[in-house]
Structure formats: structure tokens, C-alpha cells
Structure 1
Amino acid sequence: MTKIGYAEIAAELRKQMQNGQLNPGDRIPSLNAIQEQYGVTVTTANRAFKQLKAEGLTYAKPGVGTVVAARPRSAATGAARIDRLNATGKPFVPEETATDHMAVIRGCNDDDIIEQLRIEPFEEVVIRRRTFRRNDVPYALGLSFIHQRALRDVPEITQAGPLQPFWQKTYTERTGKEITRSPERRTARLAAGYELEALEVPAPAHAAVPVLVLHTTFYDEDGPIELWEDVYTPGFWQESTE
């Protein structure tokens, strides 16, 4: 049996913070509880606590213990949102929301989307758009580009509002086809005007504003079925479960 180390314990607690099982202000398990849960020494448990504190994720609150710190400029990645949904059934932690939902069907002429979805130029895709917010501050513009073959089984994806349950779950239930995801891919580019507007970034006309962009591709047994593009507000940092 492989002995668990402090890094693995810290990673598990970090993941619970990211998926909403532990929220800002919550007390994390005590050193004794960690020792009993993972079968480790107090030294190992304490090293895990020190690691989280060094990362700015926790702090000692007199009379309470070690609690989760607020992270107002942190931003969940797409993978983290999926993992949170699977772990808790909740798409957001308490301080998060999504607004400005939109859904359209359009021909696609973006070379990267065409390559990732393996479609022909100007082939129609379903585009779903929403703005993710933390404490009512936009942190990411989320766009989903969904292969038109998904319409056969989940026509609801053209609805503008949030889909409950998550459309991929409905697709799997109706088709029996499991959906997997690629590793997240990160790049940077200059933001488009509509992206700055959605993210409420004040910038002069024609200003060059660099933004972080994250792509995640989803597949079923027939190939790519969805591409996520998250465009992050300058100044936010990411949280990922990977």
C-alpha cells in the first residue's frame, strides 16, 4: 500500500475548496481529524496545513482553527466547474453566478474551432455563451461550440437559458455515449471588443488588451462534440483541479 504524503493531502483539501465542498470562512478538518482520516503522522498533517497556508488558501482564525481564505480574484477553469458539478451537483460555489446567457446557430469560419470540431468551413454549430461572475464581478466569458449532430438528441441546447441538467449528461442518458474531455489548453491573445464589453473591462476604443484563453474539447465515440472557450478577465488567476 502506497503511503500518502502531505502533498496528496493538501491536493485533496485544495480540490474541496475548488469544487465548493469547502467555502471561504469554513473551518477545515483539524490536524487530529486529518491524521485519523489518512493514517498519517502529525508531522505529515502539519506539512499539508503549512502548504495550504503558504499558497494563501487558508489562515488561522483565533478560537476557531484553520479556515478557508477568501479569494476574490480567483477564477475556476472549465475542468474545475465540471469536477465541482460531478462532486457536488452544484455548478457554482456560493459567490459565483452566470449571466447573459445566449444560444444561436451559426456558420463557423474560425480555423481553430473548425480544426478542433473537425468540421467543414462555414458548417453550422450551436454557440452557447454566458458570463461567469464571482461576487458579481465578471471573471470569464464562456463560449461553447457544439457540433450540430448533438441537436438530434438534445435539441434543448438551442435554448438561451441555463440547462438543467448539464446537456452532456442528457446526451449520455439518451444515447448511451459517454463524453470525455481533453486536457485544458492555454494561450493568450488580444481581446475582441465584444469580449471586453462582456467582461466589463474599461478600455479606449481600439485598445490592445491581452487576455488569457483556455480551450477544452469534449469527445464521444464518434469524435469531437463540443469545444469550450473561456476568455478570462485581466487580473484574475485560475483554479484548476488538474
Structure 2
Amino acid sequence: MAGYAEIASHYRGLIRSGELRPGDRLPTQRQVAQDWGVANQTVRRAFQTLKAEGLTTATTGGGTVVAESGSASVADRVANHAATGRALARNETSTILEIASVGVDATVAVRLDVEPGTPVHMRRRLVTRDNVPVHMSTSYYPSFVVEAAPELLEPVSTGGSRELVAERLGVAQDQAVNEVTSRQATDLERDALGFTGSATVTQVLRTVFLADGRVIEVAVKVTSGARPVVYTEGLNGGAA
């Protein structure tokens, strides 16, 4: 008899292969129990696993659908801000969770070209789409960024922090280097993203450069997923 992990793996594969797309409805738990010949409790645990991984979400009618495929890329945000004056989509909201001056660790320090432990400005925020958590991001800004946009010191969303800074400095964003890895979610991430129990998340360590070569932001974005890769996005209309 199949266990919950096998059932979860089956639907996880359908989602990741694209056979089940965002918004597609999964069979009811009763139907899955009948098809697999298992108890309702087994199916319930399988569905809870998929939800914890951010692959599915519950609907108002009580069913389960495939979740949206995650947050937009930096390039998408830049293009959306240029077109609408807002980096987020209309159905997205950014909530500031924490603002502080922190000493950066070695991972962030080398990308900001400062010594480990150097105090920099940190903003942690949660982005939701249709009231469902999409990702949590922790951004680290060098001092010249905060001097250009002191609004970043306030616990309110600017609707496009990097875009605001680039406009103030008169220098366009040029590219973002994204280093993507998978790991287990921390307690803070599980609480913010609504995961239950242990969950695998994707961490995107992002370094954003201005056209003059300066680093405008180093950010750690956490969402669901599992694919280690490094890629670069052109942000100013040219090839990366």
C-alpha cells in the first residue's frame, strides 16, 4: 500500500513537470484515497506536505489547487516598475517584518566589498500574492543607498526600493547575479511562509549592480523549490 510520501511525490512530479499548472485543481482527497486505496489520513498528510513545500494552496471552496510558480524575477520587477510605477503586481503586497542595522556575515560582506561584521542597513519583508505568502526577502544595503533613499529607514514598503534608489542616483540598474540553492527552512521562515513541519525552501542570494558597477543591494530571498544554479539577469535592456 502506498504511503503519504509516495502520493506527495506523484503530485510533486506532475507539478514540477508542468502537467499540473498554477491554478489547476487537484483531485479531492476522497478521490485520491479511492484511487490509491489508502486511508483519508494518508492522503491528508500527503496534501499537507505539498502545501508545506509551497506547491499547492487551499481555495475558498475547500479544494486544493497548484500554487502560483513563485515570485517574479528582478528583471520582471524592474520592467513592471517602469510600466506602472510599482515593482509588485497589483495582487501582491509587501509587508516590512524588520528593519535594523546589522553586522554582515562573510557571505554578504564579500558581495558588498566590506569586512565581515561591518554594520549595514537591513530590511526584511514578506511578499504575499492574493494574501498568500510568496517569499521572504532580507535585503542588505550599503550606506550610499540609504543616504540616497532615507525612506528605507522607515518600516513601510516603498513599492520598489531599488528603483527608488536608482532614480535618485540617476544610474540605472544593470544586472542581478542570482545564486540559488536549496535547504531546510528556519523557524522564522516556516512561520512567515506558513509552512508546517519541516520544509525544503529555495534560497536565492541576489547581488544587484548599477550601471556604474556599484552594488546597490545584496538580498537573501526564500521561497519554495530545489534547483542549484547561478544565473545573471540584464536589467537595462541589454544581454546579461
- Which of the five TM-score ranges fits, normalised by the shorter chain? 0.5 to 0.7
Counterpart AA for 1:143:
T
Count of matched residue pairs: 169
Residues 188, 179 of structure 1: CA spacing in aligned structure 2 closer, same or farther, 3 A cutoff? same
Residue 200 of structure 1 corresponds to 194
Give the Å deviation of 1:55.
8.6
Q: Deviations along 1:5-46, whole A, 9 cap, x unmatched?
A: xxxxxxxxxxxxxxxxxxxxxxxxxxxxxxxxxxxxxxxxxx
**3-state SS of the aligned residue for 1:180?**
strand
Counterpart AA for 1:97:
T
Q: Deviations along 1:36-60, whole A, 9 cap, x unmatched?
A: xxxxxxxxxxxxxxxxx9895899x
Residue 146 of structure 1 corresponds to 141
Q: Equivalents in 1 of 2:95, 2:166: separation in Å?
A: 26
Residue 116 of structure 1 corresponds to 111
Give the Å deviation of 1:234.
6.0
> Which 4+ residue blocks in structure 1 deviate beyond 6 angstroms?
none
Q: TM-score, normalised by structure 1?
A: 0.59
Counterpart AA for 1:179:
Q
Residues 107, 97 of structure 1: CA spacing in aligned structure 2 closer, same or farther, 3 A cutoff? same
**3-state SS of the aligned residue for 2:70?**
strand
Q: Equivalents in 2 of 1:112, 1:183: separation in Å?
A: 14
Counterpart AA for 1:95:
N
| Higher mean displacement: 70-79 or 127-136 | 70-79
Identity %: 21
**3-state SS of the aligned residue for 1:169?**
helix
Which of the residues 83, 87, 90 maps onto 2:86?
90
Q: Equivalents in 1 of 2:86, 2:167: separation in Å?
A: 19
Q: Equivalents in 2 of 1:130, 1:75: separation in Å?
A: 16
> Do residues 227 (structure 1) and 225 (structure 2) align?
no
Counterpart AA for 1:225:
I
Counterpart AA for 2:220:
E
Give the Å deviation of 1:226.
0.6
Q: Equivalents in 1 of 2:19, 2:86: separation in Å?
A: 28
Q: Equivalents in 1 of 2:195, 2:22: separation in Å?
A: 27
Counterpart AA for 1:231:
V
Runs of 5+ in structure 2 lacking a partner?
1-17, 25-64, 227-232, 235-240
> Do residues 171 (structure 1) and 165 (structure 2) align?
yes
Q: TM-score, normalised by structure 2?
A: 0.59
